[in-house]
Structure 1
């Protein structure tokens, strides 16, 4: 409920800080959020002060990533480059195209390349070639930068 949102965001933010406060100073803090309307919570995300946030973007057409650019988000972002909910193995070319579309939104220094969300719904026979293609595509794009 919208009326409870400020209290919930405060609670979530404090919980995140408590759980990450014990990390060593040189530990890189990552968080993951998917299928969210980041417009409403971008200030809270920024206040979390995580080094990297991983988000779903392959299914949403990079719409969620644009919020970070529009807000001037300075931390790093790991937008998904392929949909993990499909058993289909994405081609190297398909992933390259997605990476290039991400680079139109944020600079390379701010991007982490990873799959959308987790891989728990996929079998190893699907995961391994998908990740291999993702690595190959990433290396190919890096050669052009």
Structure 2
């Protein structure tokens, strides 16, 4: 984004047109994803929604998922994959911790529009750290799905 706010509108119009052009000819069943780091974009949330995306994945763990409140408030149409854990930390989050974080997300977003993924990239992590964290994340997502399914069946 340009530093000068007066330049934002021209920049956003150009960027959104360019993004939409990149997926203009894909099949209708192709799911369009985008990823945005540094999730401080409350000023441009409507413009993001106009990108014609199906899913946005965002960095959210270090901000306590506060961006999710905005998505809920405006009834954001695309599905959302908030980063569940901070990939900049070498600490491997436990499955239980990740389940608790997913529960927080479910309170803020429609579970049917929620994707579970790590924050931005894993390039700062060693392979073993990344693997253990991802295993815990997948197991946490599976455990929550089982709990939700069990609740719906009762």
TM-score normalised by length of structure 1: 0.96
Residue-by-residue CA offset, 1:40-64 (whole Å, 9 max, x unaligned)? 1111111001000001111100111
Residues of 1 paired with 2:7 and 2:89: CA distance?
35
- Which of 90, 95, 100 is residue 98 of structure 2 equivalent to? 95
Aligned-pair distance for 1:28? 0.5
Name 1:30's counterpart in structure 2: 33
Residues of 1 paired with 2:89 and 2:69: CA distance?
24
- 1:113 lines up with 2:94 in the alignment: no
Name 1:126's counterpart in structure 2: 129
Tell me the SS of whatever aligns to 1:78.
strand
Residues of 2 paired with 1:134 and 1:125: CA distance?
14
Extract unaligned runs of 5+ from structure 1: none
CA RMSD, Structure 1 to Structure 2 (Å): 0.9
Residues of 2 paired with 1:24 and 1:108: CA distance?
26
Larger Rg: 2
Q: Which runs of 4+ in 1 moved over 2 A?
A: none
